Amino acid sequence: MDLDTTLTFLAYLVAAALFIVGIRRLRNPETARSGNTIAAFGMVIALAATLFVIEFQSLLLIGIAVALGGFLGALSAERVQMTAMPQMVAAYNGVGGGAAALIALSEFYHFQAEGGSSLVADITVPLTVLIGSVSFMGSVVAFLKLQEVAFTGSVTFPLQQVVNALLFLGILTLGANAFTGGAIVPFLSPVASVVSVLALSGLLGVLLVIPIGGADMPIVISLLNAGTGLAAAASGFVLDNYILIIAGTIVGASGTILTRLMSGALGRPLGKIIFAGIAASGAQKKGGSGEEKPVNSVSAEAVGEYLADEASTVVVVPGYGLAVAQAQQVMRDLTDTLESQGKRVLFGIHPVAGRMPGHMNVLLTEVGVAYDKLYDLEDINPEFPETDAVIVVGANDVVNPAANDPEQDTPISGMPVLDVESAKRVIFVKRSLSPGFAGVDNPLFYNTEKTMMLFADAKQGLQDILAAIRS
């Protein structure tokens, strides 16, 4: 081993250690920012070390690609709104998976042209192309769904699972053909077989994600992220690059753990989420059966009066509507005002509130809400029976008791929800009676004895409540 190779290997070890330390510090909100910085510094070391083992004539092209990608990344990160952060995560994740697949295909082509292919490369190239392509096209579909451009809701067709199974079988056959040098399908060369794996895997990624919708989308993003990590790790074997193997394995493992935790939070096995493709029935979507039901529509003054005079304990449940209205600062001001009057205010955060894990936590902590006031589902549910008022801002699915109804089969059936109906009073701040992202009507809207419906934009509604309390 020459000196350059030794130094590169040592740099990779340092980078890997920084990755692990950074990820560990991400576990605590107080150390998360420094953890992100530490991991990023590790990536800088890894990239710099890699440049020393690359041919000089390639550095110019790499520099151009880095400059262009860095500019586009910084520009998009600066301009993206918090409401669009899930789409951005899906897009960035997809690019990583697609890059891993194309790199593996390129390396395999060179191996075949030079006759220097190895057993490890023959095994890992089709695997990398498969996982990377599925992650790329699946992330594209996830982006389109979240942006509500295409494939909204649950898109299914007859024999969909059979088609997926046949596609997967064809991909395995083509991968085996590439591994055996064309012995299984003689008219397809190994390179053509891998190109076919790339195309069919992309189609499989589309078909796997289009039936998934509603509250399951955060899980899809996490699962695709894990897939991209595994594709990167597999491409590390193709390129004989240790840091790719280490970093990809860390991403794949952490994404898999997060996916399993979130599927547990939804109360459904991961296999059912991926393969069932449950769609809400027409009676459950966008307004239910169309029957006119009475609701207790109130003014901001009535809400403010109740909070000021009769509520001593208040729990706030934020949802995606809070992010859309950019109402987090007003929510913080309302919290401060209620606490200044001697009231106890907590926040109930559902694991899948918003469109990605931690969405609501980030929104609230960025305006200075103390993290010890943010309670997870299992911690806040015991508090509801002693709560005088629950303020639900722009949320529906995560507080919908229909999830616990054994007679209904909906996209949220079996999902643990925040037990807000146990509180003395439930106050919804939302624009209309339209259901949430999963398309399931909420029976709490029509509980006129318990529920107060303030129909307003989240930001304006909270401002009006705040003004009413202060006056």
d(CA 247, CA 232): 8
Q: How far is CA 432 from CA 31, 148, 287, in A?
A: 39, 19, 10
Per-residue tokens: 235: 């491409």
d(CA 383, CA 411): 27
Of 373, 368, 360, nearest in space to 333 by CA: 368
Residue 315 · residue 347 · CB < 8 Å: yes
Known catalytic membership, residue 397: yes
d(CA 146, CA 213): 9
d(CA 16, CA 31): 19
Per-residue tokens: 344: 């106890």
> Residue 81's CB: how many other CB atoms inside 10 A?
11
Q: Which of 122, 216, 397, 419 is catalytic?
A: 397
d(CA 335, CA 28): 23
**Sheet of strand 451-455, all strands in order from the earlier edge strand to the far edge:** 374-376, 344-349, 313-318, 389-393, 426-430, 451-455
Q: Which residues are catalytic?
A: 397
